[in-house]
Amino acid sequence: MIKAVNIKKSFGENHILNGVNLEIKKGELLAIIGASGAGKTSLLQILGTLDKPNDGEIYINNKAIHSMKDKEISKFRNSDIGFVFQFHHLLPEFTALENVVMPGLILGSKTSEVKAKAIDLLRKLKVDHRSEHKPSEMSGGEQQRVAVARALINTPSVILADEPSGNLDSNSASDLHDLFVELKKEFNQTFVIVTHNRELANLADRVIEIADGNIVAHEEK
């Protein structure tokens, strides 16, 4: 489903990734752990087409991402990849429903269809009562659930999450972790999650550890 081959990334003399090789299966929940500065987020950004490697190849659903032009990559990213960040990045002037609908409209989906799907996702994620509320009117846990709904709106091949529970209290974090597992089971959704949270890592099908730009440990459940 996702294949990274000999991924290298550096900024000047600073080597961030040193030839990383990784395969991720459909429906897998993969956790990436490691110390700050190890290269976790850089790898996630490259897998998510937000950054380009200096060398190496990326395949998603057998498509050679590294060979695509910028316009193709942008279109592919919007249709096939969902993102959840530590800080939800919801647009503050829009309601929860409007935030969730936005990527679908950008993709060119019919407004009525994408709105109906957004309402259904908010219901499944138990934040439909917040659909007309703006982010400032919601708790941190509710904001992240809306961000997850937004990530799901275009039925992505994979959801990439960078410290998704890092800004939440322990109860909200635990609820979010359980939600990822539920979505994986219900939709066979693929997740790649960078986390310092051991509880979340323990829920993953597989855990890899990165240190100094290399995969140094591999743990399958």
Residue 28: per-residue pLDDT: 94
Residue 166: per-residue pLDDT: 80
Domains held by the chain: number: 1
* Strands of 55-60's sheet in order across: 14-24, 2-11, 55-60, 63-64
The DSSP bridge pattern shows strands 190-194 and 158-162 to be: parallel
Please give the chain's pLDDT, 221 residues, in tens: 899 999 999 988 889 999 999 999 999 999 999 988 889 999 999 999 999 999 999 999 999 999 999 999 999 998 999 998 877 689 999 999 999 999 999 989 999 999 999 999 999 889 999 999 999 999 988 998 999 999 999 989 999 999 888 877 888 888 888 888 988 998 899 999 999 888 889 999 999 999 999 988 888 87
Residue 27: per-residue pLDDT: 94
The CATH number linked to 105 is 3.40.50.300
Distance, CA of 99 to CA of 90 (rounded, Å): 6
**Nearest to residue 176, comparing CAs of 122, 117, 137, 125?**
125
Instruction: Provide the domain limits for residue 8.
Output: 2-220
The end-to-end CA distance of the chain, in Å, is 19
Residue 88: per-residue pLDDT: 67
Residue 93: per-residue pLDDT: 95
**Nearest to residue 99, comparing CAs of 160, 152, 146?**
146
